[in-house]
Amino acid sequence: MAENQLHINSNEDIAIFAKHCVFMRSIYRHSRILFEESTEEDKACMSRTAPIFFGDLNKMFVEYIILQVCKITDPAKDLRKNDNHTIAFLLQHYDFSADDPMKQILEELDAQLQAFRGKLLPARNKLISHSDRDAILAGKALGGASQSEWNQFWLNLQEVICIIYKKVFGECFYINSVAMLSDAHKLLNALKSQ
């Protein structure tokens, strides 16, 4: 009972979770800047400088972000009944029962986050966390989501964190507004100046 009570009263859970989400967002921004928002000239510079490295880096970023999104949207407990530091865990351990409208907003946001997770889960389960032979031999892309879906994911995640953070600390924490999430553009500038 005392161990469970520790979790329930711990302000550290939301602070650590929020920081982790900022890190996830940072990795996501590195990937976007280098491989999606970069110009053709930037891509040519990366290809001339280290094509294998940048190709591998792109794949690592994609896999890492998918894995992290699935991890934070995992159930509150794993199969062995260990606590997972996830959105579900936070929603179970920070009580919003006295605030029905806020509780409903959190439930709706969680449902949207779970729907997004559902799009990524096949890639996580068959290609990232495991090496499913049939999926590998089929060679089909798994886990795709549009840019607008990714944008909505980050907004939904930010809102969940903001609501819980405000309940605990009295102020919002905006993961999408943290300054200097990425300096990957400096790498592209350095490559161009060679």
Which pLDDT value is given to residue 167? 92
Number of structural domains (the chain) is: 1
- Residue 94, Cβ neighbours under 10 Å: how many? 18
Distance between CA atoms of residues 126 and 134, nearest Å: 9
Model pTM score: 0.89
Q: Which sign does the torsion angle of CA 61, 63, 65, 68 carry?
A: negative
Q: What is the pLDDT of residues 122-175, one digit of tens each?
A: 888 777 778 768 777 777 877 788 999 999 999 999 999 999 999 999 999 999
How distant, in Å, are the alpha carbons of 87, 104, 123, 124 from that of 118?
15, 21, 10, 10
Residues spanned by the domain of 125? 2-192
| Average pLDDT, consecutive stretches of 10 residues, N- to C-terminus, the chain (194 residues) | 48 94 96 96 95 96 95 92 93 88 95 96 81 76 88 97 94 90 92 85
Which pLDDT value is given to residue 128? 77
Distance between CA atoms of residues 160 and 166, nearest Å: 10
- Which one, of 43, 53, 61, 13, lies nearest residue 165 by Cα? 13
